[in-house]
Amino acid sequence: MGFAILNGEIIERSNAMVDVEDRGYQFGDGVYEVIRVYNGKMFTVEEHLNRFERSSKNIGITLPFAKEQVKEQLENLIKKNNLQLGIIYMQVTRGTAPRNHTFPSGDVKPTVVAYTKELSRPTENMQTGVKTILVEDIRWLRCDIKSLNLLGNILAKQQAAEAGCFESIQHRGEDVTEGSSSNIFIVKNGVIHTHPSNNLILKGITKDVILDLCSKNGIAVEERVFTKEDLNNADEVFLSSTTAEVMPIVKIDGRKVKNGSPETVTRRLQALFTEEIENQCGKL
């Protein structure tokens, strides 16, 4: 896609360069967001910008722009790139300074970058469901921060890819936490179970939309830790993320979830989620 934003200015993406001593490049010292765009409009943009602020604050980065300014910049970027269906990737790092673990002095400016990518909805996978594997969660204890440091996540995702699977379901011992880039839900006897949004998982925006849809539509939810055994005995399993939306999981470690095809509660949530997108962004 043609243009990017670098520190508030829209420039040709090929000219958007950062220094080799940018702390994002050297330390992964920054945070990011991925925002969905449908019909040229951002979905749940306020929630993403709030989380961006929260993540930044959590690692001591002060964003150089107010939320309203960032929103306007992103809207301009969408127009400039003529993006209809896709994503915005946005990140902020602590800035460029001589390499040193400690934070640089106060006059170093954070580096803010955003660009867009065309991306269709994963309709085929949403229809058939996807395969997953279980992997031990080896990440740090602040998974609530949407950090650029994704080594644990990418190693988990790579294992899934090598097993021909869409996603890895991570667990700490017996407890299921989240996917490598998604939140995980099970359905048992009509009740949805998902990990509480604490320090061990990312508080997914999609997860929160789903929980909201559940409460508005009388679908029971227990936001409580569930185990690998619960996962194996579940009636339905699905994952959620900005790009995957509500995605049925039909196989775990080669074993079928129930009958091996997407089931009622997941289907209902997919329909409700699509409605919510259309409410915010117009007919799909």
Candidate ranges 77-85, 174-182, 191-199, 276-284; the one touching ligand PSZ (CB under 6 A): 174-182
> CB–CB of 68/8 below 8 Å?
no
Per rule CB under 6 A, is residue 177 in the interface with ligand PSZ? no
Chain centre to alpha carbon of residue 52: 12
Selected binder of ligand PSZ within 240, 248, 250, 272 (CB under 6 A): 240
Query: 208 φ, ψ to 5°?
Result: -65, -35
d(CA 250, CA 131): 6
Per rule CB under 6 A, is residue 147 in the interface with ligand PSZ? no
Alpha helices in the chain (DSSP H): 23-27, 45-58, 67-80, 123-128, 151-162, 205-216, 228-232, 264-281
Selected binder of ligand PSZ within 242, 249, 269, 273 (CB under 6 A): 242
Candidate ranges 2-10, 74-82, 160-168, 204-212; the one touching ligand PSZ (CB under 6 A): 204-212
Selected binder of ligand PSZ within 137, 178, 236, 263 (CB under 6 A): 178
- What tokens were used for 4? 């990017």
Per rule CB under 6 A, is residue 270 in the interface with ligand PSZ? no
The residue (of 3 and 273) whose beta carbon lies closer to ligand PSZ is 273
Per rule CB under 6 A, is residue 195 in the interface with ligand PSZ? no
The one catalytic residue among 146, 203, 216, 256: 146
> CB–CB of 143/55 below 8 Å?
no
d(CA 22, CA 44): 30
The residue (of 96 and 206) whose beta carbon lies closer to ligand PSZ is 206
Per rule CB under 6 A, is residue 97 in the interface with ligand PSZ? no
Selected binder of ligand PSZ within 95, 110, 129, 204 (CB under 6 A): 204
* Interstrand relation of 191-194 and 221-222 (parallel, antiparallel or unpaired): parallel
Selected binder of ligand PSZ within 153, 194, 266, 270 (CB under 6 A): 153
Torsion region of 129: left, alpha or beta (phi above 0 gives left; psi -120 to 50 gives alpha):
left
Per rule CB under 6 A, is residue 91 in the interface with ligand PSZ? no
Selected binder of ligand PSZ within 55, 81, 93, 183 (CB under 6 A): 183
Question: Residue holding tokens 């909805």?
Answer: 121
3-state secondary structure 211-275: HHHHHHCCCCEECCCCEHHHHHCCCEEEEEECCCEEEEEEEECCEECCCCCCCHHHHHHHHHHHH
User: Is 146 assigned a catalytic role?
Assistant: yes
User: Rounded to the nearest whole angstrom, what is the least distance from the CB of residue 95 to ligand PSZ in the complex?
Assistant: 24
Per rule CB under 6 A, is residue 170 in the interface with ligand PSZ? no
Binding mask 16-55 toward ligand PSZ (x if CB under 6 A, else -) reads: ------------------x---------------------
Q: Which residues contact ligand PSZ by CB under 6 A?
A: 34, 153, 178, 181-183, 202, 204-207, 240-243
| Catalytic center residues | 146
